[in-house]
């Protein structure tokens, strides 16, 4: 911002609320419509209060880029985010800050390098085929449940070299419970202390203990002889690390990172696949175009890492699915230093929200933004699109470490599934937006074999 630009010390404009509760009830009535209306009515910087917390909502790509990239050192995940996920993830990569976070990201980066992706691709296809072998023609299935099970199994095998099929149900239930708990507390005006023995707190503590037991068993198996100093899976990387004094990572840190990978490494991809399949089921013309490409490129053979370059429309379908229904629908930051954004002072401690849901559906950047049109994603369109009008994996130094992993997985799973099956949604989608854009209940679809 130029020095001549006036800077306001007042709060940005925003919706009026009611005494004490402010905008909490307006938001609770429909979070997605609330933030959309705020952006359209009050412009690129808006202000509201939820549950006693003041929010600055940024709805312009340049302002999002400022916070996530240009001035990223002035912002942290903050108390709101840490209060929700810190008890679950500890000092894992998603919640840690500063130099410690940089050390951990550098340590785990080799597991996500391009040369590792080809090695993972066969597992992704194999595990998808294994899941599909249990499907029956004409069956009604909860596709979200299927995708959650599949992606957690893929994450465990590719990143930990562990087959958790036998305990997947327990792991999946535990992950679901801790996410439900963390999401419930994200904007609750009065949080019930975790030590109060409510049914929700008891389930949460039991689920967290189950997750710790699973990752503890994985670590012990490696210590009993499975670890390979030259391996690039996450567990081997964590166990082989030594600091400048020759000391290994603390046991708790290793477990925090593994729980983080299990949680963050599967849910958003599962959501992306669930919503993309729903969109395809509601848009038969686009589904037919996808089938045409898969039949032409794969010719009845298996999808593979080598075939991805030719599956152009498949990639467009995944991108458009994450535009219409972004699994990460909002990013929260807290100002650790004073800043100026869009002509407004941002004081230390101010919570800033940037929402993929708003910008991915902004008619300034997308014609018919609520329509599912994968073919819009031409190279020319992407070049003309402002950098942060589309940011499904976040941005800046804190951009998702597994973005390429997730995009490859989504394309391979979708190609493998859609090559042999079609899906017919039984109901419209409804959402329970919290840390991620979660569905409000099962996402049931009738599955049918192609050609039958």
- pLDDT at position 23 is 94
For residue 421, the cross-strand partners are 449
Euclidean distance between CA atoms 408 and 118, whole angstroms: 9
pLDDT tens digits along 397-406? 999 999 999 9
Asked if residue 229 lies in contact with residue 241, where contact means CB atoms within 8 angstroms, the answer is no
Euclidean distance between CA atoms 32 and 23, whole angstroms: 14
Whether the predicted pLDDT of 267 surpasses 60: yes
Rounded percentage of the chain residues whose pLDDT exceeds 90: 71
pLDDT tens digits along 167-185? 777 788 888 888 777 766 5
Higher pLDDT, 144 or 198: 144
- pLDDT at position 221 is 85
Q: Compute the average pLDDT of residues 239-254.
A: 90
The confidence band for 64, taking pLDDT boundaries of 50, 70 and 90, is very high
Higher pLDDT, 115 or 373: 373
Domain map (residue ranges) of the chain:
24-449
For residue 22, the cross-strand partners are 18
In the sheet where 45-50 sits, what is the strand order? 45-50, 53-58, 351-354, 331-335, 75-76
Query: Options 3.40.1160.10, 3.40.50.1100, 3.90.640.10, 1.10.630.10; which CATH number does 24-449 get?
Result: 1.10.630.10
Residue 196: phi, psi to the nearest 5? -70, 125
E strands, 59-142, where? 75-76, 139-142
Nearest in space to 56 (alpha carbons), one of 346, 305, 384: 346
Higher pLDDT, 356 or 52: 356
Residue 113: phi, psi to the nearest 5? -70, 155
Asked if residue 447 lies in contact with residue 139, where contact means CB atoms within 8 angstroms, the answer is yes
- pLDDT at position 226 is 60
The confidence band for 190, taking pLDDT boundaries of 50, 70 and 90, is very low
Residue 14: phi, psi to the nearest 5? 180, 175
> What mean pLDDT value characterizes the chain?
91
Whether the predicted pLDDT of 194 surpasses 90: no
Distance of CA 54 to the CA centre of its chain: 24
- pLDDT at position 16 is 94
The confidence band for 2, taking pLDDT boundaries of 50, 70 and 90, is very low
Q: Compute the average pLDDT of residues 147-168.
A: 89
Q: What angle do CA 122, 128, 131 make, to 5 degrees?
A: 140
């Amino acid at each position: 911002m130029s020095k001549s630009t006036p800077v306001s010390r007042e709060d940005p404009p925003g919706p009026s609320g009611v005494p004490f509760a402010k905008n909490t009830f307006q938001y609770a009535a429909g979070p997605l419509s609330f933030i959309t209306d705020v952006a359209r009515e009050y412009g690129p910087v808006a202000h509201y209060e939820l549950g006693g917390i003041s929010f600055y909502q940024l709805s312009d790509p340049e302002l999002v880029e400022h916070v996530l990239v240009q001035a990223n050192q002035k912002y942290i995940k903050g108390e709101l985010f840490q209060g929700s996920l810190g008890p679950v993830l500890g000092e894992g990569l998603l919640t840690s800050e500063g130099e410690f976070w940089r050390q951990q990201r550098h340590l785990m980066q080799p597991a996500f390098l391009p040369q590792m992706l080809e090695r993972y691709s066969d597992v992704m296809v194999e595990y998808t085929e294994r899941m599909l072998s249990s499907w029956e023609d004409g069956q009604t299935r909860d596709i979200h449940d299927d995708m959650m099970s599949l992606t957690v199994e893929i994450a465990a095998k590719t990143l930990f070299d562990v087959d958790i099929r036998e305990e997947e149900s327990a792991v999946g239930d535990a992950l679901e419970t801790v996410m439900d708990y963390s999401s419930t507390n994200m904007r609750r005006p009065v949080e019930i202390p975790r030590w109060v023995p409510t049914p929700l707190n008891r389930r949460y503590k039991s689920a967290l203990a189950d997750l710790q037991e699973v990752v503890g068993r994985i670590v012990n198996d490696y210590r009993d002889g499975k670890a390979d100093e030259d391996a690039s899976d996450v567990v081997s990387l964590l166990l082989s690390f030594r600091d400048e004094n020759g000391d290994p990572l603390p046991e708790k840190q290793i477990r925090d990172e593994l729980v983080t990978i299990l949680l963050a490494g599967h849910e958003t991809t599962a959501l992306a696949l669930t919503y993309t399949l729903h969109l395809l089921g509601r848009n038969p013309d686009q589904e037919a175009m996808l089938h045409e490409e898969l039949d032409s490129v794969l010719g009845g053979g298996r999808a593979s890492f080598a075939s991805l370059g030719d599956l152009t429309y498949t990639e467009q379908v995944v991108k458009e699915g994450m535009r219409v229904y972004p699994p990460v629908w909002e990013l929260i930051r807290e100002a650790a230093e004073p800043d100026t954004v869009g002509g407004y002072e941002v004081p230390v401690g101010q919570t800033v929200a940037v929402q993929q849901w708003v910008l991915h559906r902004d008619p300034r950047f997308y014609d018919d933004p609520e329509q599912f049109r994968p073919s819009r994603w031409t190279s020319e369109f992407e070049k003309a699109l402002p950098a942060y009008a589309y940011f499904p994996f976040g941005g800046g130094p804190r951009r998702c470490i597994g973005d390429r992993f997730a995009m490859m997985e989504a394309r391979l799973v979708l190609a493998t599934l859609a090559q042999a099956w079609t899906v017919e949604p039984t109901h419209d989608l409804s959402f329970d937006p919290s840390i991620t854009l979660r569905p409000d209940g099962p996402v049931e679809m009738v599955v049918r074999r192609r050609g039958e």
